[in-house]
A and B are shown apart, each in its own frame.
Chain A
Amino acid sequence: MRHSRHPLWKFGRFLRDANFSHFVVSVVVILVIWSITSATIDNPGRYLPSPLAVALSSVDMLYKGILPSYFADTIRRLVLGSIIGLSLGIPFGLLLGLNRTISDMFYPLLNFFQSISGIAIFPIIVIWWGNSDKTVLAIVLYTSFFPLAYTVLSGVREVPMKYIHAVRTLGATRFQVIRDVLLPGAMPSIVTGTRLSISFAWRAVIAGEMLAGREGLGWMIFTGQDADLTTQVILGMLMIGCSWIILDHYLLRPLEMDTIERWGLVQR
């Protein structure tokens, strides 16, 4: 049923949702505490500008076109990095899960790179490509690829033997077992891995822009600190968090609902 509804209906449901009203309460509480704190400290302009000051600066940056342009830069990097990361990480994880020999070859490497965080790989990438778009993308890709491949690999391995046996006794070939059992059976891990991977990519974009960018939300936070523009720093943080919530709610959650929840593979 929920699949066929118009997006606006979905948004309406979101607003009517009890979860949403609880969420509004918590946001209001934070805004009140924030305002009071800001009004009572010395030099709030430097340490903690009021919500109103942040809102006004957002209007100013919107008006000048900086905010939309930085936002678009960051989103572009996230989308590009994630698409490449997903289209490499999912097949790689599947391949490792399906073929013993290949997994014996690559598993130690996967484990090795899992342990080197994106931030630790940063210096070598900067040495290669300097402060460029390419460097940021490379970090995004690196950060999203390994956890995804790893999760998908475990997903294939964890498909219960009873399903494989059942389908083999129905006369399935090896290819049919992969298509009808292993791939759908690995779906929970593919979906969880995708969500994990994109959330890692989102953090990596921001970190990458702070260290090697020329524009984008990460860059905006970083330069805001240098220029003593605390409103810009807070605005950047708000943008990052809010974008993620929207992305998660409208893209990643529906993906889960239509697959693994529909099949009853996870309980919520």
Chain B
Amino acid sequence: MSFLDFITANWRELIMLTREHIVIVMLSTAFAVALGLPLGVLLTRVRSLQVPVLGFANVMQTVPSLALFGLLIPLPFIGGIGARTAVIALALYALLPVIRNTVTGILGIDPKIREAAVAMGMTDSERLRLVELPLAAPVILTGIRVAVVISVGVATVAAAVGAGGLGTYIFRGLRQNDNNLLIAGAVASALLALLFDLALGQIERSFAIAERAQRNRRRIIGVGIVGALSAFAVIGGFGGFQSVVSRSGELPATRERIVVGSKDFTESIILAEILAQMLEGEGFAVERQFELGGNLPHDSLLANAIDVYPEYTGTAFTAILKRDPITDPEAVYRETAEAYEKDFGLVLSPPLGFANDFAILIRGDVAREQSLRTISDAVPVSRGWQAGFGQDFMSRADGYSGFARAYGFAFARQPREMDLSLTYRALAAGELDIIAGNSTDGLISALDLFQLADDRRFFPPYEAVFVARKEKAEVLRPAFERLRNAISTKEMRKMNLEVDGNKRQPREVAAEWLRVN
């Protein structure tokens, strides 16, 4: 599909995501200014507070964005998933430039001017209003401008906590190996950043004393752009928004509401969509909180922000329960189910019928030329290979370190740690020679990749299941029973390929599966 075709087909969604993005950025900036400006002024009055407050704001900004989102999820009132968490996280990021520039702007005023103001008999608030804030305005506005531009960028990451916005396209594009999505998301957010930068730059310069002649023109341009962006974002209400108001509950209150979550990759979304459509068929009001990054779905479950999501026994066993990997699928399922019930009060559904194991992948032509079938076959020829793995694989017990030890891999070069979805493209492009993917991934056949057999049975089994909160276990039981052993590995791989390779919507693919099963 050409980019133009893509835009023609998806412009409604693109506009909605852009509007979400603008709302998230503007709300978070408004919070940051409402909190940061008075705080900054306070710091110029009570200087002893400068070190602790600026220190806190500094630390907030150094916390990686995804980590900050993760830390916020379990918190009451401000936490959870969705746009609210994103707005709070972004406001925390934006706080530092606002506070710091308010302090710098006010303290940077010539002491003689402050002295003149005091000596004239101004009260503290008169001095602030008539002298300090007007003179510090350009510096403060620079801080706000920096905050907004940072927010536009960080807000793309917020898609990982289900906040919506243009990051949704970027994540989806990476996952589905789809440049159209990537370009649309990236270009739209870059344009937003440029527009905000231009607008606030104009407003900022309108306060510069040496440029008074152009003051009104600059204000009109600056305020005009910001006004146009906000009008664009809110005209027609928030009705179409996936996440900003999704928790306001437009759904009829009479039906029981179930929040279905998913991880941020295609298979998880398809499985969640299948369950969601089944539940809708049974008459439940279903809210979708899809595409949650990392272990956020688990945290969200514990925080009661979602009710159920698809998980893998191996992941639950090693990454969440932190047990040492074992290879017997039944033992893994049984021990996981017991520990989940006891430790978290969570319930496991019966296995769905397929496992999404780690798949050690190489290019198909390499496998054919060198007749490589198993992982052990690859060890002797792999010294010069460049390996590349997702963050997940690099960090977990059943990941890289254990794997390399078990098979005796000794790569000459350090493996690259990168985004999982990017490793597929890098392998196909010849940038990498060996990666660890997922055995059900549709891209394996689409990109002509070859899965080496785990001949030493190193990897624990990753059987697909649903994890649900105990309170919802009863109402979910019929659906869970219907899905017991219902999806084969082959079917799953095919559905993944439909989405990743053929660019179809998970919603359609799930509906199709439901029609024939």
Verify that A and B bind, or say they do not.
no
- Which residues of B are at the interface with A, using a C-beta cutoff of 8 A? none
- Which residues of A are at the interface with B, using a C-beta cutoff of 8 A? none
